[in-house]
Structure 1
């Protein structure tokens, strides 16, 4: 009996110790600085650099379209109470630009001007915000985020810079992976058709011709002329597959399929309704816990999909 009592006391002590640790962890979480990020890309980037040394709060949920997202009252509260706000810039968070410019740090703020894409949007030249498909620009964004986080937590600067360097090395390896796999597609088949113009940085970086009926923003108008031009392009180049995106309605691609079929060209819609696992990621990563929930996994998913259907 005494032996059992001793065991019980030890067990209780262990449980009390565990509870004490949990309280301690909870308190330390409370003491951490809060970093508010606009997108899943920046959530992942911050995690890669800062790990669990900060609390990260996301504004635009993974899977939602940042071009169309309107800030809610609770989002404004998050922004106002944050210790640091990180956002893309280049007008990507279109409806939140004013608030973000006052309160946040744009990870794109030091990009060389000649590396930033310009595109025609409804007859007007606009900045292309989809810089993350250029890995060299993404590395610059990582460096900017690291500097901002180091300013927030100077005592963690050395660790953050070590994590940054390790992550940039992984991004260099990712670049090699993409180049090697794109080579598997014959040069005369490297045509990527998507719903909106999100892949022009990818196009320039890896010599893949990209065409989309809609402009840079999913808010822009899609004219019958744009649709017809895309159909003609598909038929002219005998393109066999077009790709839906995770943040746009796959039904948009149906007009392209029907128009091409009317001209004798059979086209598969990759990632149509019910095939979400075969949609390209463009403006968001996947929700946490799903394939494509990190930048590197997202990019590999896209490249694997493109190669599978175009080679």
Structure 2
């Protein structure tokens, strides 16, 4: 955002890098003529890469690294410079990047204009930001991104639309795969327990019952009462497995396992480095979840193999 707000200018002064954001600076655009795009999350990074394809019209900079928790990520000075130097800035919105809100005001929030009727909410009115587990909502977000990229590089609009259409075919195949795999789990065993409430859209789309001791954000409090209530569900429903997430502390699930054990029950904690669920971030390069489709297939395969 070449004309970023006064707030960012103040932040640069505070961090000692004032002056780096000059729109005429040689670092402010790619030397090869590509358009500079900043994205907050790995999901958005994957979207831009898919849409851009072989056109290679954009130089994309990821702000929150793979494996980091966007709910609690604190922007660094280098991130602020990336934001200022960008021609386009995409962020997810719905308070997903909660601690970055003040520095994203000039960006494009891909989820803010979704129809409120399709968004998951809690009784307190808080909106669930984890829309990417609803494949149809993910398509809507990608369409928003494609429209903005086409406006920035209209000479590639036809290629971008073709890339998007082809990818939507892959997403339709993914949806069919998910439905087929979940059908392998007996109806009474389709109960997913994770550290925080990130899988509500998955629940609605594929008829899973989801529970978590923590709310939509990993910043929310985890009370002893919520831990105990979750343990009650495990015991009452005779749940075989509970799942760790790649961006959360595994101790929470281990604590649940200990409580269940103390009550005479057993439950398996699924969460080694290779089978933890991806929730708030895609995986690092080379991991099975380093793309959106790879992430989704990994999660579903892991859930099905441990609950069926």
TM-score, normalization by structure 1: 0.87
Match of residue 9 from structure 2: none
Q: Secondary structure at the match of 1:30?
A: coil
Aligned position for 1:174? 174
Match in the other structure for 2:152: 152
1:287 alignment counterpart: 284
Is the radius of gyration larger for structure 1 or structure 2? 1
1:107 CA drift (Å): 1.2
SS, match of residue 277 in structure 1: coil
Matches within 5 A, 1:67-216: 67-101=71-105, 103-120=106-123, 124-216=124-216
- Give 1:252 shift: 1.2
CA contact (8 A) 1:246 1:281 kept: yes
Instruction: Provide the C-alpha distance between the structure 2 equivalents of 1:284 and 1:36, rounded to a whole number of angstroms.
Output: 16
Q: What is the CA deviation profile of residues 177-236 of structure 1, one whole-angstrom value per residue up to 9, with x for unaligned ones?
A: 100000000000000000000000000100000000011100000000000000000000
Post-superposition shift, 1:134?
Answer: 0.4
RMSD: 1.3
Instruction: Indicate which of 11, 19, 40 corresponds to 1:38.
Output: 40
Aligned length: 278
Matched with 1:243 is: 243
User: TM-score, structure 2 length as denominator?
Assistant: 0.88
Question: Secondary structure at the residue paired with 1:239?
Answer: coil
Cα deviation 1:152-181 (Å, max 9, x = unaligned) = 111111100110111111111111110000
Name 2:52's counterpart in structure 1.
50
**Which has a greater percent of helix?**
1
Give 1:240 shift: 1.1
* Equivalent-residue separation in structure 1 for 2:214 and 2:238 (angstroms): 21
Residue 28 (structure 1) shift? 8.1
Question: 2:255 matched to 1:255?
Answer: yes
Contact 1:29 1:55 survives alignment (8 Å): no
**1:309 is the counterpart of 2:303:** no
Unaligned runs of 5+ in 2: 1-28
Which whole-Å CA distance do the structure 2 matches of 1:182 and 1:141 have between them? 25
- Could you say what secondary structure the match of 2:104 adopts? helix
Structure 1 residues not aligned, in runs of 5+: 1-26
Q: What secondary structure, in the 3-state scheme, does the structure 1 residue paired with 2:274 have?
A: helix
Aligned-pair CA distance for 1:29: 5.7
Distance (Å, rounded) in 2 between the aligned partners of 1:186 and 1:238: 13
Q: Is the contact made by 2:30 and 2:36 (CA closer than 8 Å) also made in structure 1?
A: no
Secondary structure of 1:232's match? Answer: helix
In 1, the alpha carbon distance for the partners of 2:80 and 2:304 equals 41
Q: Which runs of 4+ in 1 moved over 4 A?
A: none
Q: Distance in 2 between matches of 1:268 and 1:146?
A: 42
Distance 1:64 1:157 in 2: 32
Query: Distance between the aligned counterparts of 1:66 and 1:308, measured in 2?
Result: 28
In structure 2, how many angstroms separate the alpha carbons of the residues matched to 1:58 and 1:82?
A: 11
8 Å contact from structure 1 (residues 247, 282) kept in 2:
yes
The answer to whether the 8 Å contact 1:43/1:56 transfers is: yes
Asked whether the equivalents of residues 59 and 75 of structure 1 are also in contact (C-alpha less than 8 Å), the reply is yes
Contact 2:51 2:160 in 1 (8 A): yes
Whole-angstrom distance in 1 between the partners of 2:89 and 2:169: 25
1:61 and 2:58 matched: no
Alpha-carbon contact 1:235-1:260 (below 8 Å) kept: yes
Conservation of the 8 A alpha-carbon contact between 2:30 and 2:59 = no
Task: Please state whether the residue corresponding to 2:126 is helix, strand or coil.
Answer: strand
